[in-house]
Structure 1
Amino acid sequence: MIRDDIKAATTTAMKAKDSARLGALRLISAALKNKDIELRTGTPPADDDVLVADVLTKMAKQRRESIEMYVTGNRPELADAERAELGVIEGFMPQQMAAGEAMAVIRGLVEELGASSVKDMGKVMAALRERFAGQIDMSSASAMVKTALSS
């Protein structure tokens, strides 16, 4: 499980006195704990790794946006700190699918769900998010789903 890997990495970073990595790992742990608290009232997902991948994906997106803003604002030291955190976060994320593989998965889902028009896009995206969270970039997947449904 990804949570166990994060806990083990936190312990290792503490022992190695790697404060930068430890800080990023603690941010990940805090985000996961916040998500767990948020889900207490709702129904938890069937697979914990999907939940963790979702949290990590959101954190990575936030870091990328921050890096872009820091580079634009001529703050390279802050951008470097965000890049270091992003590297730690991406180390625990599932491997991203290549574009061709993602398109094949999307076409398979379209056939499986019997989706025939753009009106069925929500159904396909929900199934995609449920089965492949963290493995496919959802913003690019949206365009691929539109392409698959329009052809």
Structure 2
Amino acid sequence: MTNIRTRLTEDTKTAMKAGEKERVTTLRMIGAKVKDADIAARGQGKDALNDDDITSALRGMVKSRQESVKMYREGGREELAAKEEAEIAIIREFLPPEMDEAALEAAVKTAIADSGATTMKDMGKVMGALKSKFGASLDLGRANGLVKAALSA
């Protein structure tokens, strides 16, 4: 399986050869985000990012664009919202498939049971268990809401 960096480089070359300007722009933007994150990690004495770290950065990019889409729609700027959604679609190509709601709920219930969590004070344990078990394939933002709901019920 190729890693995200390799796929990103290959996809950029392919899009350039095909003359897909918007796709090339988005792929280059993703590459720049990865390089920025690498530089930040080196500043903290860490090595280059692994695929899980890159996946987290890409999820952040998707989240910020989703917020932009919402603001553009509220402001009546449909063309800008459509541009952001096109970027989201390209970024998602590099993300692992997200768990469906039922699988995520089951994973949260299992993590709560396995960690013996009973109150909100145990939330860190549950989130840590989920992250170690599912890594980058888990959207921590979605899981966070389910864990909070389960522990406060």
What is the TM-score with the length of structure 1 in the denominator? 0.87
From 59, 63, 73, give the equivalent of 2:75. Answer: 73
CA separation of 1:47 and 1:97: change in aligned 2, threshold 3 A: farther
Corresponding residue number in structure 2 for 1:100 = 102
Corresponding residue number in structure 2 for 1:143 = 145
TM-fit CA distance, 1:54: 0.3
CA separation of 1:131 and 1:30: change in aligned 2, threshold 3 A: farther
Percent of counterpart pairs with the same letter? 39
- 3-state SS of the aligned residue for 2:76? coil
Counterpart-to-counterpart distance in 1, 2:32 and 2:9: 12
TM-fit CA distance, 1:47: 7.6
TM-fit CA distance, 1:38: 0.7
CA RMSD of aligned residues (A): 2.2
What is the TM-score with the length of structure 2 in the denominator? 0.86
Corresponding residue number in structure 1 for 2:91 = 89
Count of matched residue pairs = 151
Counterpart-to-counterpart distance in 2, 1:26 and 1:88: 11
* Structure 2 unaligned blocks of 5 or more: none
Q: Are the equivalent residues in 2 in contact too, given 1:113–1:124 (CA < 8 A)? A: yes
Corresponding residue number in structure 2 for 1:64 = 66
Q: What's the CA shift string for 1:84-124, capped at 9, x where partnerless?
A: 11110111111010111112212222233332321010222
2:138 counterpart letter in structure 1 = I
